Amino acid sequence: MTLAPIVVFDLDGTLAETAPDIMRVLNVILVREQLPTLPLERARELVGAGARALIERGFRVSGKPLDPETLERLFEDFLLIYAEDVASDSFIHDGVLEAMATLAAEGFKLAVCTNKPILHTRLILDHFGITDRFAAVAGRDSFPFHKPDPRHLTLTIEAAGGDPARAVMVGDSRTDIDTARAAGIPSICVPFGYTDVPIESLNPDRVIQHFDELAGAVREVLAIAAAHS
């Protein structure tokens, strides 16, 4: 059986702008702990490494110590609050739906590989009505491994029935690039996601400014990968 080429997407900051809801929940936690809230503008430096890291970073900004037991309690609180309303202020990036339709029409399978818990991942995709567009959806807890471990990506590709030799990772962060690189898979990144440094400085295979560039970039990086294989 011939496996299909596949494009695997990160979620937060890549497919969707989810920071408004993530920061809203973080601020609920901070207020409960008698700390000042943080503006949405801080999301670029705080979001992107998971809820535990987000809470740790939020406390660090506030200058309050955070012991492991408290962190774990707040992490569980965060997950519960977030699950109640994951996407009321979030939105899919412009051009995403059209890019996915183009790739699907060209025979590509599509998948999601994110470090967000699978519960919240599916709630967000369901909210936007796009879950069924993906052959596989993998969250942080879908496998024993998560990004930047390359097995998170390779197992997602396997679950989707995709061809790892004709796979591309689309993301917005160092984690996505490192994961793809470790898996031997080219990466395409967007510059408007959650990264603490300019994405170009991390040397993904391509940077696109808009999702209307994605299908062409996918073709290019796969052609280059095939030429070097």
Active-site residue numbers? 10
Bridge pairing between strands 4-9 and 162-171: parallel
**Vertex 127: Cα angle to 121 and 128 (nearest 5):** 100
Write the CB contacts of 5 (distance below 8 Å, at least 6 apart in sequence). 107, 108, 109, 162, 163, 166, 167, 222
User: Half-sphere exposure of 49 toward its Cβ, with a 13 Å CA cutoff?
Assistant: 13
Question: How much is the CA Rg of the chain, to the nearest whole Å?
Answer: 18
CA distance 140 to 26: 19
CA torsion 18-176-143-15 (nearest 10°) is 30
Q: Which residues pair with 6 in a beta bridge?
A: 109, 167
User: Counting beta carbons within 10 angstroms of the beta carbon of residue 32, is it exposed (0 to 12), middle (13 to 18) or buried (19 or more)?
Assistant: exposed
Residue type at position 166: R
Take residue 137 and report the two structure tokens written for it: 């959806």
